[in-house]
Amino acid sequence: GEDVEQSLFLSVREGDSSVINCTYTDSSSTYLYWYKQEPGAGLQLLTYIFSNMDMKQDQRLTVLLNKKDKHLSLRIADTQTGDSAIYFCAEKGGGGADGLTFGKGTHLIIQP
């Protein structure tokens, strides 16, 4: 079945750029997503990219998609303490339900 993999933790210094990586297996994915979850909160849709694109930029966020390698990344420029959260990569799953397949999330830790 479909699988989405992410590193569990990423630690960066405040002001540096954060790059969160994700790999997926479903070659038929049409959309790929990044969600942010702050402690005790719900999932916030950050950005998404259609599979015929290779880059999307939205203010401090840059998404890169390498469809050949099935690799997705999220770059956060000028990382701030408010960016501390869990970041989930997701793709449209083709399994038994018409929902998203999520990675296990990357905990972004900001060092002062």
Partner 1 sequence: DTAVSQTPKYLVTQMGNDKSIKCEQNLGHDTMYWYKQDSKKFLKIMFSYNNKELIINETVPNRFSPKSPDKAHLNLHINSLELGDSAVYFCASSIGGAGRPQHFGDGTRLSIL
Least distance CB 15 / partner 1 (angstroms): 27
Minimum distance of partner 1 from residue 104's CB (angstroms):
5
34 touches partner 1 (CB under 8 A): no
The tokens of 61 are what?
A: 């966020």
Of 60, 65, 66, 30, the residue nearest 46 (C-alpha): 60
Helices (H) and strands (E) in the chain, counts: 0, 11
CB of residue 40 vs partner 1: minimum separation in angstroms?
Answer: 9
Q: Does the CA dihedral 83-21-45-107 come out positive or negative?
A: negative
Residues 49-88 that bind partner 1 (CB under 8 A): 86, 88
Residues near partner 1, by CB under 8 A:
30-31, 33, 35, 37, 41-45, 48, 86, 88, 92-93, 95-102, 104-105
